[in-house]
């Protein structure tokens, strides 16, 4: 054999134990799976090497396994196998418990036999062979011996019950496979080395039983106008894969992983003209679920089969429109294989936020606080729960929707007790009536006082109230204060101009009144107020109701 001839095919066997001979260098965690990258470093001989790696997770998805080589070597083939499962039927502790139980059971048997013998002896005593003077002594000895044996019997009975319980628990514990029985997968890798030396191979594989979800802490500082909201983006991670993730780099992925070699296919994406609303009672609910809501095509334009085909296409378009995002947890983290939830902070954000307050004192004297938050970061906010803290105090649990960068959402922040509202009883009076009058006019006045106890002004506070709406031509309702314009008439359905939607009037400095909502039958009035620090404002709502004839009975007065 010359020096240029290839080495003889005598494979060198290399045995590696996964946990001890490698390290997990990174974990990509998806909502339902994890992708593990585990790095092995070992020495190879020139020629063919058979690398046998044991201790891989039982739940490893074989179709996801990839092997990458680093160094002067070539990977020839990879096979997977499972070691035989060994479930023990006994344990040293169980053997000891069984021995102890046997000893206690024998002692109990002897105790019961002794009690029986004492009773038999006492029963054998007769007047023929026992003097009366000895009777008292024999009875005392019987009482003492019997009491001692009864106490011993009770003690042994309790001891046997305790031992039986421990035996049951130990037998149950034996059936639970130890951690190493969760790591019975093995990989056999053929490595051909052109020269002897150290090489590295990376095993990349997917495992289920691992997941993460997003959640948030929203902290609000009411004493500042600049960046009053801090949003802490967190991840709840848990895994029970069989491996412990020690000091790993953790990547959080929002998409769902797919494994295999097949190329994905595109579904047809068609366009059509919507002409009229078609009520398909059987399929409408399903169409809404897949994303086709609003006007549906007319039967004259498209048949039912075509409508269903469009629904399928729409669902496919929606599915492909999902935005994928990747988050890196700072530093290295450790997540044991315990199935418990472990929380990590992804990032702390200072989003743009506008605070708003709304109160409906006719129903309750409390003020509701809401933050309009704009995601000014490059992070996509996933749907999740949020713990809301205002000035360091826990207020409520809220939620965060799916928010892309530059998008906004409203986050309810609970009640703000620092804004106090007084809503006294309404003042009523009959201003016009008489024997010869054909109509009667009733006047109503409501006062609302708002007290801001904060050390900073409150801007954008909205107070909502209402006046009644006429449902009959014999009833005329007129708003006196604030002097908001109404429509041309006030018939049964209320003002034709829908409460002059969009009109407003300045009541005083920092207070603007306007119609609230566009429903003609809902006469809501709102004031948008700025209340100075430690200041108070008073709002007035006045209206009249004219009834013709005067003696008509009105419901709702």
| 110-132 CB burial, b ≥16 within 10 A, e <16 | ebeebbeeeeeeeeeeeeeeeee
Q: What span, in angstroms and rounded, lies between the C-alpha atoms of 509 and 289?
A: 49
**Residue 144 and residue 161 in one domain:** yes
Given this model, what pLDDT does residue 213 score? Answer: 94
Q: Does residue 415 sit within a domain?
A: no
Mean pLDDT of 149-162: 92
Q: Which residues make Cβ contacts (< 8 Å) with residue 453, sequence separation at least 6?
A: 418, 419, 420, 534
Which residues on neighbouring strands pair with residue 328, listed in sequence order? 251
Given this model, what pLDDT does residue 190 score? Answer: 93
* Listed residues 277, 299, 321: the one ending a domain: 321
Between residues 519 and 96, which one has the greater pLDDT? 96
* Listed residues 175, 196, 222: the one ending a domain: 175
Q: Does residue 225 sit within a domain?
A: no
**Residue 76 and residue 202 in one domain:** yes
Q: Is the pLDDT of residue 335 over 90?
A: yes
**Residue 465 and residue 515 in one domain:** yes
CB-based contact 38:68 (threshold 8 Å): no
Percent of the chain with pLDDT over 90: 49
Q: What share of the chain is helix, strand, coil (3-state, %, to 5)?
A: 20, 40, 40
Closest CA to 181 of 83, 80, 62: 83
Dihedrals φ, ψ of 454, to 5°?
-75, 165
**Residue 63 and residue 189 in one domain:** yes
Mean pLDDT of 196-214: 94
Looking at the structure of the chain, the number of domains it has is 4
Mean pLDDT of 268-285: 52
Q: Rounded mean pLDDT of the chain?
A: 82
Q: Is the pLDDT of residue 298 over 50?
A: no
Mean pLDDT of 303-309: 49
3-state secondary structure 511-525: EEEEECCCCCCCCEE
Omega within 30 of 0 (cis) for the link into 482 = yes
Poorest-confidence range of 10-19, 458-467, 548-557?
548-557
Given this model, what pLDDT does residue 129 score? Answer: 64
**Residue 442 and residue 510 in one domain:** yes
Percent of the chain with pLDDT over 70: 79
Given this model, what pLDDT does residue 485 score? Answer: 79
**Residue 537 and residue 439 in one domain:** yes
Which residues on neighbouring strands pair with residue 394, listed in sequence order? 389
Which tens digit of pLDDT belongs to each residue from 245-270?
999 999 999 876 665 556 667 777 76
Q: Does residue 433 sit within a domain?
A: yes
Given this model, what pLDDT does residue 71 score? Answer: 80
**Residue 281 and residue 309 in one domain:** yes
Which tens digit of pLDDT belongs to each residue from 38-87?
999 999 999 999 999 999 999 999 999 999 988 888 898 899 998 876 65
**Residue 98 and residue 163 in one domain:** yes
Mean pLDDT of 236-252: 94
Q: Which of 252-261, 463-472, 489-498 has the highest mean pLDDT?
A: 463-472
Dihedrals φ, ψ of 545, to 5°?
-125, 115
Which tens digit of pLDDT belongs to each residue from 371-417?
999 999 989 999 999 999 988 888 888 899 999 999 999 998 888 88
Given this model, what pLDDT does residue 311 score? Answer: 44
Omega within 30 of 0 (cis) for the link into 549 = yes
CB-based contact 269:320 (threshold 8 Å): no
**Residue 507 and residue 429 in one domain:** yes
Q: Does residue 339 sit within a domain?
A: no
| Cα separation of the two ends of the chain | 115
Element holding 63 (H helix, E strand): strand 61-70
CB-based contact 267:43 (threshold 8 Å): no
pLDDT band at 432 (very low <50, low <70, confident <90, very high): low
Q: Does residue 153 sit within a domain?
A: yes
Q: Does residue 533 sit within a domain?
A: yes
Given this model, what pLDDT does residue 533 score? Answer: 92
Q: Is the pLDDT of residue 7 over 80?
A: no
Tokens coding 39: 């790095």
Cα 404 to the center of its chain, rounded Å: 19
CB atoms within 10 A of CB 348: 12
Structural domain for 313, as ranges:
266-321
* Listed residues 175, 194, 225: the one ending a domain: 175
Mean pLDDT of 420-441: 81
Q: Does residue 5 sit within a domain?
A: no
Q: Does residue 222 sit within a domain?
A: no
Mean pLDDT of 228-232: 93
**Residue 430 and residue 532 in one domain:** yes
CB-based contact 463:451 (threshold 8 Å): no
Which tens digit of pLDDT belongs to each residue from 88-146?
678 888 889 999 999 999 999 999 998 888 888 777 766 666 666 677 787 788 888 88
**Residue 434 and residue 526 in one domain:** yes
**Residue 519 and residue 503 in one domain:** yes
Mean pLDDT of 444-453: 95
Q: Is the pLDDT of residue 170 over 90?
A: no
Q: Is the pLDDT of residue 284 over 60?
A: no
List the alpha helices (DSSP H) in 400-465.
none
């Amino acid at each position: 054999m010359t020096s240029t001839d290839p080495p003889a095919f005598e494979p060198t066997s290399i045995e590696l134990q996964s946990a001890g001979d490698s390290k997990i260098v990174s974990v990509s965690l998806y909502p339902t799976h994890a992708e593990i990258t585990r790095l092995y470093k070992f020495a190879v001989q020139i020629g063919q090497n058979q690398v046998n790696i044991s201790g891989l997770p039982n739940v490893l998805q074989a179709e996801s396994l990839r092997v990458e080589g680093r160094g002067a070597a070539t990977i020839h083939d990879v096979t997977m196998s499972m070691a035989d499962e060994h479930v023990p039927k006994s344990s040293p502790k169980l053997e000891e418990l069984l021995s102890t139980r046997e000893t206690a059971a024998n002692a109990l048997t002897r105790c019961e036999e002794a009690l029986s013998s004492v009773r038999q002896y006492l029963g054998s005593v007769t007047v023929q062979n026992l003097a009366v003077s000895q009777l008292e002594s024999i009875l005392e000895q019987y009482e003492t011996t019997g009491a001692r044996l009864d106490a011993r019997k009770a003690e042994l009975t309790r001891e046997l019950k305790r031992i039986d319980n421990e035996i049951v628990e130990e037998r149950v514990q034996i059936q639970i496979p130890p951690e190493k029985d969760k790591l019975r997968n093995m990989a056999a890798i053929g490595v051909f080395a052109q020269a002897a030396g150290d090489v590295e191979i990376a095993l990349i594989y997917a495992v289920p039983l691992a997941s993460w979800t997003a959640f948030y802490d929203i902290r609000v500082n009411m004493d500042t106008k600049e960046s009053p909201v801090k949003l802490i983006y967190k991840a709840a991670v848990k895994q029970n894969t069989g491996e412990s993730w020690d000091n790993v780099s953790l990547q959080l992925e929002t998409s769902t992983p797919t494994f295999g070699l097949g190329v994905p296919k595109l579904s047809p994406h068609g366009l059509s003209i919507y002409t009229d609303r078609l009520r398909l009672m059987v399929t409408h609910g399903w169409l809404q679920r897949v994303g086709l809501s609003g006007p549906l095509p007319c039967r004259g334009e498209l048949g039912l089969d075509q409508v269903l085909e469009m629904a399928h296409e729409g669902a496919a378009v929606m599915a492909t429109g999902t935005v994928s995002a990747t988050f890196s947890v700072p530093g290295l983290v450790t997540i044991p294989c315990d199935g418990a939830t472990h929380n990590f902070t992804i990032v702390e954000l200072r989003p743009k936020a506008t605070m708003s307050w709304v109160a409906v004192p006719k129903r309750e004297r409390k003020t509701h606080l809401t933050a309009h938050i704009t995601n000014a970061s490059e992070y996509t906010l996933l749907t999740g729960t949020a713990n809301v803290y205002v000035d360091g105090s826990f207020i409520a649990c809220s939620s965060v929707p799916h928010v892309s960068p530059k998008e906004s959402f409203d986050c309810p922040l609970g009640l703000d007790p620092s804004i106090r509202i007084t809503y006294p009883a309404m003042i009523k009076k009959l201003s016009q009536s008489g024997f010869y009058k054909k109509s009667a006019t009733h006047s109503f006045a409501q006062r609302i006082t708002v007290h801001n106890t904060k050390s900073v002004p409150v801007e954008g506070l909205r107070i909502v109230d209402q006046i009644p709406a006429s449902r009959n031509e014999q009833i005329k309702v007129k708003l006196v204060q604030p002097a908001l314009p109404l429509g041309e008439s006030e018939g049964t359905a209320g003002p034709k101009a829908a409460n002059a939607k969009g009109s407003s009037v300045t009541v005083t400095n920092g207070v603007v009144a306007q119609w609230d909502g566009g429903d003609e039958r809902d006469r809501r009035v709102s004031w948008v107020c700025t209340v100075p620090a430690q200041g108070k404002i008073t709002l007035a709502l006045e209206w009249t109701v004219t009834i013709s004839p005067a003696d008509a009975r009105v419901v709702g007065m």
